[in-house]
Chain A
Amino acid sequence: MNSFTIKSPRGINLLELILAIALCGMALLAVIGVQWRHHKALQKDEVRLEARAVASSILDQVEVELRTNFDGVYAIGLSPVSSQLDPAGRFQYLIEENYGDLEGNLKREQVEIHWDSPQGPRKEVLWCVYLRGE
Chain B
Amino acid sequence: MLYATATLASLKALRNESGWSQSRTQEQAAARSATATLVAGFNKVGSLEPGEFEGEIGGLPYTATLTVDPELPGIFHLTARVGESEFTRVLRQEPRALHLAFARSGSFDPTLYMQTDIDGEWETLLLPPPQPGDLDRIPATTSNFNGQLFAFRFGTRMHPTIPTPFLSQYDAESGVWSDLPPIPYHFRQSLEEQDGWTMESYARQSVLASNNDNIFTVIGPNNLVNQRAPDSVAEFFIYDLNRESWTHLEKPDVEVYNSQGDLVADYDQVSIDQLAATEGQFLLEMSGAEPVSTLFRLKDGRWTRLPAIPGSGDSWGKAESMACGPNGKISAVVRDPSGQVGLARLVDGRWSRAQLPTDNNGIHTVAIDSEGREWIQDLREGRLFRSLKDGWEEKAMPEQRSSEIDLGARPDDELFYYQITAGY
Contacts and interface: CB of A to CB of B under 8 A. Distances in A.
Contacts of B346: 68
Interface in A90-117: 99-101, 103-106, 108
A20 interface: no
A42 B8 CA distance: 12
Contact of A68 (B8, B22, B348): B348
B88 interface: no
Interface size of A as a range? 35 or more
Interface string B82-107: 00000000000000000000000000
B37 A59 contact: no
Interface in B21-65: 21-22, 25-26, 29-30, 32-33, 36-37, 39-40, 43-44, 57-58
Nearest to B328: A68
A126 interface: yes
A37, A108, A124, A133: residue with the most chain B Cβ atoms closer than 10 Å: A133
Interface size of B as a range? 35 or more
Contacts of B57: 129
A56 B11 contact: no
Given A65-B348, A134-B420, A31 B3 contact: yes
A134 B36 contact: yes
Contact of B33 (A35, A52, A128): A128
Interface string B4-27: 100110110011001101100110
A35 B3 CA distance: 10
Contacts of B348: 64-65, 68-69
Given A59-B29, A69-B347, A133-B419, A34 B328 contact: no
A35 B5 CA distance: 11
Given A34-B8, A38-B7, A133-B419, A127 B1 contact: no
A69, A101, A124: residue with the most chain B Cβ atoms closer than 10 Å: A69
Nearest to B32: A128
Contacts of A71: 387, 389-390
Contacts of A22: none
Contacts, number: 100
B162 to A, nearest CB: 45
A27 interface: yes
Nearest to B44: A103
Interface in B325-341: 326-329
Given A41-B11, A65-B348, A99-B389, A105 B3 contact: no
A31 B4 contact: yes
B40 A68 contact: no
Contacts of B261: none
A49 interface: yes
Given A34-B11, A100-B37, A133 B327 contact: yes
A30 to B, nearest CB: 5
B345 interface: yes
Interface string A34-74: 11011001100100110010001001000011011111100
B345 A69 contact: yes
A49 B21 contact: yes
A131 B80 CA distance: 15
A69 B329 contact: yes
B98 to A, nearest CB: 16
Interface in B352-390: 372, 387-390
A133 B4 contact: no
Interface of B: 1, 3-4, 7-8, 10-11, 14-15, 18-19, 21-22, 25-26, 29-30, 32-33, 36-37, 39-40, 43-44, 57-58, 326-329, 345-348, 372, 387-390, 419-420
Given A31-B1, A69-B345, A129-B36, 9 more contacts: A34-B8, A38-B10, A38-B11, A45-B19, A56-B25, A59-B29, A69-B347, A131-B39, A133-B327
Interface of A: 27, 30-31, 34-35, 37-38, 41-42, 45, 48-49, 52, 56, 59, 64-65, 67-72, 99-101, 103-106, 108, 124-134
6 contacts: A31-B3, A34-B7, A67-B327, A67-B328, A128-B30, A133-B326
